Each structure stands twice: as structure tokens, then as C-alpha cells.
Amino acid sequence: MGITERKEREKQQRREGIIQAAEKVFFSKGFDHSTMDDIADEAELSKGTLYLYFKSKDVLHMEVAKKAIILLNTCTSRAADKGTNALEKLRQMGRATIDFFRTYPDHMKAIIALTGIESGRLGLTTTDVQGILYDVSSVGMVLELVEQGVKDKLIRSDIPPVLIAHTLWMQLMSVIQFVSVEESLFDLLELSPDKVYESHFELVLNGIKS
Amino acid sequence: MGITERKEREKQQRREGIIQAAEKVFFSKGFDHSTMDDIADEAELSKGTLYLYFKSKDVLHMEVAKKAIILLNTCTSRAADKGTNALEKLRQMGRATIDFFRTYPDHMKAIIALTGIESGRLGLTTTDVQGILYDVSSVGMVLELVEQGVKDKLIRSDIPPVLIAHTLWMQLMSVIQFVSVEESLFDLLELSPDKVYESHFELVLNGIKS
DNA sequence: GTTAATAAATGACCATTAGTCATTAAATAT
DNA sequence: ATATTTAATGACTAATGGTCATTTATTAAC
């Protein structure tokens, strides 16, 4: 039946439209200050319809973050190709993440909110988050690269790759958080975000070298 | 006048009582699911009175976090004394923070919430946060130790101490976040929080060594 | 000791907003 | 043309952060 298929397609489109509206509203007003009515207006739908497609505001938040993670993932995988070995690929991925943050700061903040401590704040289980983190995020690729790096004797082998991978990921998130929280500190200390990132990569990659 | 002093003292006590009530409620139900009425009940006061002492729920949240930071700070400074040189003192401080997280997980989460990205979520300026971070938190002490370590040629001198200090602090926060979010992952990968912490210190301290 | 003035505490009330559901409208099948 | 199923609506509810006129307790003044 072609009708069923078309309907399914339309449903998907509506769903997508709602997510886009939510994204726009969340990013412009912040999650807490966005109301479901705002999103409904933006999506040109009634509030009731939103709840036909998404169980809660929190779920909508997660969907927005998921889309952001997928976008980040495409950026980082593309960047990884530019590196010549595992360590270089990792560095490129890191830089790409920084660039991503510069280009889409709101997207990045949504990702950090999802994967950080406040995932509990939302009505999500850690399993939900893990699904997203492993299926669509960069962590999976980082892990592969670390394993490759260990094999090539570029990365120390006395620590399980999965730990190194997570450490790299979390540390990158933390430096981005640092920059976005402490912005006003920079002038005072004659620092720049770039210097911070530079030092970060220096310190971190130095730490994992074999 | 003795009366003015007594009144001031009583005011302080009431204030403290409210913070304690808020702490109890926040930690048992989570910030978002705690209502001001809950806190008022716990404090045996009316809701109106809470607002006589604190401007908003967010401010109350910050006060709770501030108290937690002070507590953490006493733990870490005591631990630092056990180390024989700057690097060892830093390691001891790190361990003490982990212990703190084990003993007072809710306190630790409040700290991370305050210093992490969602400080913007609350109605606080980054200046508020910085005040807390530098006046009462461990970051100040970490900085001193890093400076000492650089002087003693234990820590690399090519990166500004303030950056190293912040990196250490943020990385520690991130590993704690990691453990608290990904708990369920551990069985699966035959990992334990201890191994994660161990690797963390290994990687991070290795990174800053001169 | 009584009254006036000041300070502290109260809780009914308001405004906002996440989420629901009976009703309506549209699309599809008969 | 009619019945049935599906999609969409928006008025409504419940919960809750925050306010403020009123009440209660404390201190000062006579």
C-alpha cells in the first residue's frame, strides 16, 4: 500500500519539524526558559500535537542533543581522515570538536548537557544515554583509534583502551566546559581559548604516549 | 547593644537552618523535584520566610553547593599534607576528592552542577561561580602546588601553571562524572571505579611531569 | 505596665507552564 | 454518500515558584 508509506513519511517529517522547532527555541531561549507553547508556535502546531510525537519536554531535549551528536560525529570522522596515524587522527578529531564548538556552541552545550551529570536530571536512564553515546557518538571511533594506536606502539599499552578512549572524550568535554564557563577569566590572565586548547592537547596526548 | 548582636546571630542561625533543610530535601529528592514547600516543611517555616532569607530557589541551590565546596576543600587540604612533594600532594588531593565523592556523592554532584555548564542554567553569573571557585574551592590550592612543582622541576614549565591547575581540576571533575554516569558500564567491561581512577591519575600526572 | 513602633513570619493568592483529554477535523475505506 | 479510523486541537488541570497584605512577636518609649 503506497498510502501507508506516504503517511509514515509524513509522520517522520512532522516529527523532524518538531525537533527543528524545539532546537530553534531551545537554542535561542535556553532549555529552561523555553515553553512547550513556544515550540508549538514555532512548529505551527498545537501543543497537544507535540505530545502525540514526544512523551515530554525532556525527551524532546534528548532528541535535539542526539541530532547534535550525529552532526558532531560527521565532523570528527571527516577530520580523522586527515591524520596519518592513530595519534594524529585523534588530535585531528579533537581539533574538529573544538571547531564544532566554535561553529555550533549551542549544539555542543546540548551534547554536554546530555552526556554530563544532568542526564539524571532529565527523565532518562543512563542506558538511554549510553545507547546514544556508543551508537552515534565519536566515542566508538576514538576507541578504535586508541586500539590501533596501541597496536602500532604509539600509545601506552598498560591501560585498557576503553579507559583511554573515555578519558580522552571526557577530558575534551571538560576543556570545552572550562572555556565556556570561564570565558571572562581569559583577559585577566592573558590567556586565549586557543592557548587553552593547545595546552590541553599537549598535556593529554603526552599522557597517553607510549 | 547586645540585642542587635543576638538578633544578627539568630538570623544567621535561621539562614543556616534553611540551607540545611534545603540540603536534606535536594539530596533526597533531587533539585528539580524538590519544591519550596518541601523545604519550608523541612525547615518548619512558611514558604514566605524562605524568600525573606534567599532570593530564589536557584540561590538556595548555590548556597548548598558552596557549603559542599567548603567541605571538600577541608578534606583536600588535609590530604595534601600527607604528600612529600608537590606532585605527591596533588595526587593526594585527587584521591581525597575521590574519597569525598564516595562519602558524599550528593555533595559532589552539587559541586559539579555549580561549576559545570549548567551554572548558566541557574540564575548566576560566571562571576558568582568564579568567586566561589577561587575563594573557597580547591582550585586555588592546586594552583599553588603546581607553581611549587614547576619551581622544583617536577612539573613541566612550558605551560602556564594556571592552565595546568584548571586542567587538573576539570579533568578530575570529568572522571567523577564519568564514573557516576557510566556506572552500569563497569560490569560489562570488567572495570571498576578504582581502576578508572588509577588510570586517570596515571595518565594525567604523566602528562604534566617535566 | 501600657502603648507605639519596628521587625519577623505567615499563608492565601497569582502567574506560569508541563501535561491531559474530550471534542473536532481530515483522511481513508466501504 | 456514509462509516471508520487517524490526526490535530485547545480548553482545562495540577503543580509550583514567587509575592504581598495581614498577622504575630519583639523592642522601644512614656
Answer yes or no: are the C-beta atoms of A53 and A15 closer than 8 Å: yes
Residues above pLDDT 70, as percent of chain B:
89
Helix axes B36-43, B2-29, angle to 10 degrees: 130
Question: What pLDDT, on a 0 to 100 scale, did the predictor assign at position A64?
Answer: 95
* Residue-wise pLDDT tens digits, A84-129: 999 999 999 999 999 999 999 999 988 888 876 566 666 566 666 6
CA nearest A101: which of A24, A186, A177, A185? A177
Question: What pLDDT, on a 0 to 100 scale, did the predictor assign at position A144?
Answer: 93
Question: What pLDDT, on a 0 to 100 scale, did the predictor assign at position A191?
Answer: 82
For the ranges A44-58, B47-61, B157-171, which has the lowest average pLDDT?
Answer: B157-171
> Checking phi first, is residue B125 left (phi over 0); if not, alpha (psi -120 to 50) or beta?
beta
CB spacing of A113 vs B113 below 8 angstroms: no
CA of B208 vs C1' of D17, distance in Å? Answer: 47
In terms of CA atoms, which chain A residue is nearest residue B109?
A117
Question: Which residues, 6+ apart, have CB-to-CB distance to B133 below 8 Å?
Answer: B69, B115, B139
∠ CA A168-A169-A173, rounded to 5°: 115
Question: What pLDDT, on a 0 to 100 scale, did the predictor assign at position B74?
Answer: 93
- As a whole number of angstroms, the distance between CA A20 and CA A157 comes to 44
CA of B42 vs C1' of D28, distance in Å? Answer: 34
CA nearest A209: which of B207, B174, B195? B207
Rg (CA), chain B: 20
For the ranges A130-134, B40-44, B51-55, which has the lowest average pLDDT?
Answer: A130-134
Whether the per-residue pLDDT at B184 is higher than 80: the answer is no
Whether the per-residue pLDDT at B183 is higher than 80: the answer is no
> Checking phi first, is residue B190 left (phi over 0); if not, alpha (psi -120 to 50) or beta?
left
- As a whole number of angstroms, the distance between CA B136 and CA A164 comes to 32
**Residue B150 in grid coordinates:** 614547576
Q: Three-state DSSP class for B84?
A: coil
Q: Give the pLDDT band of residue B171 (cuts 50, 70, 90).
A: confident
From the Cβ of A7, is strand D under 7 Å away?
A: yes
Question: What pLDDT, on a 0 to 100 scale, did the predictor assign at position A130?
Answer: 62
Summarize the confidence of residues B175-193 as an average pLDDT: 79
CB atoms < 10 A from the CB of A48, how many? Answer: 9
From the Cβ of A10, is strand C under 7 Å away?
A: no
Give the global pTM. Answer: 0.87
How far is C-alpha A48 from the chain's CA centre? 29
Residue nearest to nucleotide C17 (CA to C1'): A35
- As a whole number of angstroms, the distance between CA B118 and CA B181 comes to 16
Residues in B touching A203 (Cβ below 8 Å):
159, 164, 167, 204, 207-208
- As a whole number of angstroms, the distance between CA A47 and CA A45 comes to 7
Kind and range of the H or E run holding B67: helix B57-80
∠ CA B79-B82-B84, rounded to 5°: 135
What one-character DSSP code corresponds to residue B190? T
Question: What pLDDT, on a 0 to 100 scale, did the predictor assign at position B43?
Answer: 97
Phi, psi of A160 (to 5 degrees): -55, 130
DSSP output for A125-136? -HHHHHHHHHHT
Long-range pairs of A9-16 with CB within 8 A, sequence gap ≥ 24: A14/A45, A14/A49, A14/A53, A15/A53
Residues of chain A with pLDDT under 50: none
Buried b / exposed e along A59-84 (16+ C-beta atoms within 10 A): ebbbbbbbbbbebbbebbeebbeebe
CB spacing of B184 vs A126 below 8 angstroms: yes
In terms of CA atoms, which chain A residue is nearest residue B182?
A126
Residue nearest to nucleotide C21 (CA to C1'): A48
From the Cβ of B33, is strand D under 7 Å away?
A: yes
Nearest residue, CB atoms, B170 vs list A178, A185, A195: A178
Query: Which residue would you say has higher pLDDT here, B7 or A75?
Result: A75
Nearest residue, CB atoms, B180 vs list A32, A117, A204: A117
Rg (CA), chain A: 20
Question: What pLDDT, on a 0 to 100 scale, did the predictor assign at position A129?
Answer: 62
| Strand spans (E) along chain B | none
* Residue-wise pLDDT tens digits, B94-139: 999 999 999 999 999 888 888 765 566 665 666 666 666 666 677 8
Q: Give the pLDDT band of residue B169 (cuts 50, 70, 90).
A: confident
Question: Which residues, 6+ apart, have CB-to-CB distance to A159 below 8 Å?
Answer: B199, B202, B203
- As a whole number of angstroms, the distance between CA B94 and CA B74 comes to 13
Question: What pLDDT, on a 0 to 100 scale, did the predictor assign at position A115?
Answer: 75
CB atoms < 10 A from the CB of A150, how many? Answer: 20
Nearest residue, CB atoms, A117 vs list B116, B202, B203: B116
For the ranges A29-38, B64-73, B193-202, which has the lowest average pLDDT?
Answer: B193-202
CB spacing of B182 vs A166 below 8 angstroms: yes
Residues in B touching A32 (Cβ below 8 Å):
121
Nearest residue, CB atoms, A182 vs list B126, B206, B208: B126
Whether the per-residue pLDDT at B149 is higher than 80: the answer is yes
In terms of CA atoms, which chain A residue is nearest residue B206?
A207
Mutation pick from B163, B168, B179 vs chain A, by most beta carbons of A within 10 Å, is B163
Answer yes or no: are the C-beta atoms of A162 and B154 closer than 8 Å: no
**Residue A206 in grid coordinates:** 603526552
Q: Which nucleotides of C are covered by protein (CB under 7 A)?
A: 7-12, 16-22, 28-29
Average predicted confidence (pLDDT) for chain B: 87
